[in-house]
Amino acid sequence: MSPTIIVEKDGLLPSSLPLLHGRESKRSWLRLAAKLALVSTCTISAFWSLGCLDFPELSFLRGDDVSTVADLCPQPPALTPSVHAELWGNFGKDLEKEEFWQRAVDWLSGAVRIPTPSFDGMGPIDEDERWKAFVPFQEYLLKSYPQVHATLSLTKINTYGLVYEWTGSNAALKPLLLAAHQDVVPVNPDTVDEWTHPPFSGHYDGERLWGRGSSDDKNGLIGILSVIEILLEKDFKPTRSVVLAFGFDEETSGIYGAKSIADYLLEHYGENSFAMLVDEGGKSELNDSIVPKLNGGHSSVPPAHTTIGILSSLLTQVEKNPFKTHLGRGTPMYEKALCLAAHAPELPKKLQKALRRAPKSDKALRTAESILFEDRLFKSLVQTTQAIDLIQGGVKTNALPESAWAVVNHRIATDSSVSAVQEHDTEVLLSLAQEFNLSVTAFGKQLSEDGTPAYGKLVVSDAWGHSLAPAPITPTRDAAPFQLLAGTVKATYNAFRAVEDDGGVVVSPGHMSGNTDTRYYWQLTPHIFRYNHHFTGKTSLFKDIHTVNEFIDVDAFKEMLNFFTTLILNADESTAL
């Protein structure tokens, strides 16, 4: 959530992350921890992630007085389809055939060539002409996937939201829900000349496919549809139903797309009606608007403090009072830290020892916390953050500004709440506002008490009215959906590498500070995984998402196709979901 701070004078004012692999033995543990934290691409509803590592188990961690490796970070085995073993194996072989692979690349390239941007502040569907960009994209899907559209039922939600339903033979089984979004981040016209290939070219150079949406998130949407099209061509008939939810304004908070899709799914399926949900790979959010208000006037006769000066002091006060942070047991990043201790030999021995004792010792937990918090990224994923991102005030050099405003963006810790953040911000600002003799209204409550005429007023509120509470934490460890997803991740990873045993990849919980359409889907299932099987190879995490030269390595797309195939077949066979 981001609070907005406004000062007025009135006389008296927010996927897909890749998998991490390789031993990386020369990298410092801090960089390792940072990268592990970023591997929240495999995430869960509570903004968890599955970070994937390639580390051997550490036998020296075992001992009577410490947690064992299995206790710290239990690992399910790789899970491959058994009933559909032949189908799964043939699909893997097909991926290596040039004709088969070129077809998949063409599907994604064609999707990227159709611009589908969503912009901040777009109006209702029937009023804003820019929504019509989704018409040619959906016509493209209809033409490209004839088997999907002949077999699955399609319901359009709020005109452009797409819900596909692939009915299984056993209605008693809870369906698998797969989510993705059709929209992309707009391309800044001033940057078009900086692109190696035009932003909507869908250019394929043999190694990478370039263009806006290639990595976020048309690769996921096209990957899901491509897999289902191919499975249908191979006469696969599901036992467990599969539902696809494709929003169209995820990049602008999903208020027209996913929100409406969630209402439809709740009405037709009910609460807790899905076995599990997999979306691209947040943390909750509050935007505080801070607005001081005073009377205006000519700048030749200025007061001691203008609204801009007062706002500056208030913002300084905010930055001087960050949220206190502790690593809490049971939180996503605590679980990730335990997996680091169990499977990352680069960790300093002091940190390893502290984490091994942390489940039972508060002192050890605080020791581990102090070391882990040396990494700014790791700490930011644990704490409630604050960032002053917007500020505005004044219109002319000789006119005193009647108001000035700023917006403070908060990403709320998983063990905190919107109300706790609001209370903290109110407390931080109240005493200073009183020094300026400002009446204070904070989040709808009038806080002035003594009745003394105020010099001005301070209004603190939820900037956009879209505050997001921390999501419920998705069960892991022994939970069947987590076991199935983690086993699927391992099987997919192993299928593309010469891995002789199950120790090749470790799957851990984690956390992401971003959000996706799943913010509206919490009632559908407690098992929400924000995971994107997006192996990046030699490229950096986040390097080209939402900016110039977005691309996807085609090997990453190949793995994504294999992941969705394995997931659908594994879920179809599961008797534990």
- Does residue 433 lie in a domain region? yes
Directed axis angle between helix 307-320 and helix 418-435, to 10°?
130
User: Does 204 map to a domain?
Assistant: yes
Q: What is the pLDDT of residues 17-75, one digit of tens each?
A: 223 333 333 345 555 554 443 333 333 322 233 444 333 333 334 444 567 877 888 88
Q: Is residue 7 part of a domain?
A: yes
Q: Which of 462, 497, 512 is the last residue in one of the domains?
A: 462
Which of 262, 185, 187 lies closest to 14, judged by CA? 185
The tens-digit pLDDT sequence of the chain (577 residues) is 444 444 433 332 222 222 333 333 334 555 555 444 333 333 332 223 344 433 333 333 444 456 787 788 888 999 999 999 999 999 999 988 999 989 999 999 999 999 999 998 899 999 999 999 999 999 999 999 999 999 999 999 999 999 999 999 999 999 999 999 999 989 989 889 999 999 999 999 999 999 999 988 899 999 999 999 999 999 999 999 999 999 999 888 899 999 999 999 999 999 999 999 998 764 657 788 889 888 888 888 888 899 999 999 999 999 999 999 999 998 989 999 999 898 888 889 999 999 999 999 999 999 999 999 999 989 998 999 999 988 999 999 999 999 999 999 898 888 899 999 999 999 999 989 989 999 999 999 988 766 666 789 999 998 877 777 777 788 888 899 999 999 999 999 888 876 655 456 888 887 766 667 888 999 999 999 988 886 555 444 445 666 788 999 988 899 999 999 999 999 999 999 9
Q: Dihedrals φ, ψ of 28, to 5°? A: -65, 155
Distance CA 344, CA 36 (A): 10
Confidence at residue 253, expressed as pLDDT on a 0 to 100 scale? 83
List 250, 288, 375, 544, catalytic entry = 250
pLDDT score at 563: 96
User: Residue 179, SS3?
Assistant: strand
Domain-embedded: residue 555: yes
Q: Is 10 annotated as a binding residue?
A: no
C-alpha triplet 473, 276, 2: angle, nearest 5°:
40
Helix (H) or strand (E) holding 439: strand 438-442
280 is catalytic: no
250 and 132, same structural domain?
yes
Q: Which amino acid is at 16?
A: S
The residue among 409, 440, 462 that closes a domain is 462
**Assigned domain for 440 exists:** yes
Is 311 strand, coil or helix? helix
Quick one: which of 226, 403, 227 has its CA closest to 311? 403
Structural domain of 431: 3-14+284-325+384-462
Q: Output the six-digit token pair for 340.
A: 């680091």
Strand segments (E) across 455-513: 456-462, 506-508
Cα dist from 468 to 421, 510, 527, whole Å: 12, 19, 19
**Pair (452, 307) in one structural domain:** yes
- What lies within 8 Å, CB to CB, of 198 at 6+ separation is 192, 211
Catalytic-role residue among 183, 288, 550, 573: 183
CATH number, residue 434: 3.30.70.360
| 151 shares a domain with 100 | yes
How do 242-247 and 161-166 pair as beta strands? antiparallel
Structure tokens belonging to residue 240: 């467990």
Radius of gyration of the chain (CA): 26
Residue 281 in contact with residue 542, Cβ under 8 Å?
A: no
Q: Do 255 and 216 share a structural domain?
A: yes
Q: Is 249 labeled as ligand-binding?
A: no
The tokens for 176 are: 């698998």
Q: Which residues of 69-87 are buried (b: 16+ CB within 10 A; e: fewer)?
A: beebbbbbebbbbeebeeb
Q: How far is CA 262 from the centre of its chain?
A: 18
Say how far apart CA 31 and CA 16 lie, in whole Å.
20
User: Which parts of 152-275 fold into alpha helices (H)?
Assistant: 218-233, 258-269
The whole-angstrom separation of Cα 52 and Cα 473 is 19
Q: Are residues 441 and 553 in the same domain?
A: no
Per-residue model confidence (pLDDT) at position 500: 55
Which of 462, 497, 513 terminates a domain? The answer is 462
Q: Which of 388, 392, 395, 391 is nearest to 409 (CA)?
A: 388
- If one counts the domains in the chain, the total is 2
Q: Are residues 255 and 151 in the same domain?
A: yes
Q: Is 216 annotated as a binding residue?
A: yes
Tell me the pLDDT tens digit for each residue of 544-572.
666 788 999 988 899 999 999 999 999 99
Domain membership flag for residue 51: no
240 and 294 in a single domain? The answer is: no
How far apart are alpha carbons 268 and 255 in whole angstroms? Answer: 20
Q: Are 492 and 559 in contact (CB under 8 A)?
A: yes
What is the pLDDT of the chain when averaged over all its residues? 84
On whether the CB atoms of residues 512 and 283 are closer than 8 A, the answer is: yes
What is the Cα–Cα distance from 281 to 512, expressed in whole angstroms?
8
Distance CA 18, CA 511 (A): 14
264 belongs to a structural domain: yes
Burial of 466 (0-12, 13-18, 19+ CB in 10 A): middle
pLDDT tens across 421-463, in order? 999 999 999 989 989 999 999 999 988 766 666 789 999 998 8
The distance from CA 389 to its chain's CA centroid, rounded to whole angstroms, is 20
Residues 260 and 295 in one domain: no
Residue 251 domain flag: yes
DSSP 190: G
CA 552, CA 214: separation in Å to the nearest integer? 6
CATH number for the domain that contains residue 148: 3.40.630.10
Closest CA to 162 of 531, 485, 517: 517
In this prediction, residue 519 carries a pLDDT of 86
Are residues 99 and 236 both part of a single domain?
A: yes
- Whether residue 237 is found in the same domain as residue 320: no
Task: Give dist(CA 413, CA 366) in Å, integer.
Answer: 17
For residue 217, say if its preceding peptide bond is cis, omega within 30 degrees of 0. Answer: yes
Structure tokens at 479: 């939970």
Has 181 been labeled as part of a binding site? yes
Are residues 291 and 248 part of one domain? no
Contacts of residue 534, defined as CB under 8 A and 6 or more positions apart, other chains included, come to 15, 16, 17, 18, 19, 41, 215, 219, 281, 552, 556, 559, 560
Of 12, 11, 8, 10, residue with least CA distance to 310? 8
Domain identity same for 232 and 303: no
3-state DSSP helix/strand/coil % of the chain, to nearest 5 = 35, 20, 45
Q: How far apart are CA 109 and CA 435, in angstroms?
A: 60
Q: Is 105 left (phi over 0), alpha (psi -120 to 50) or beta?
A: alpha
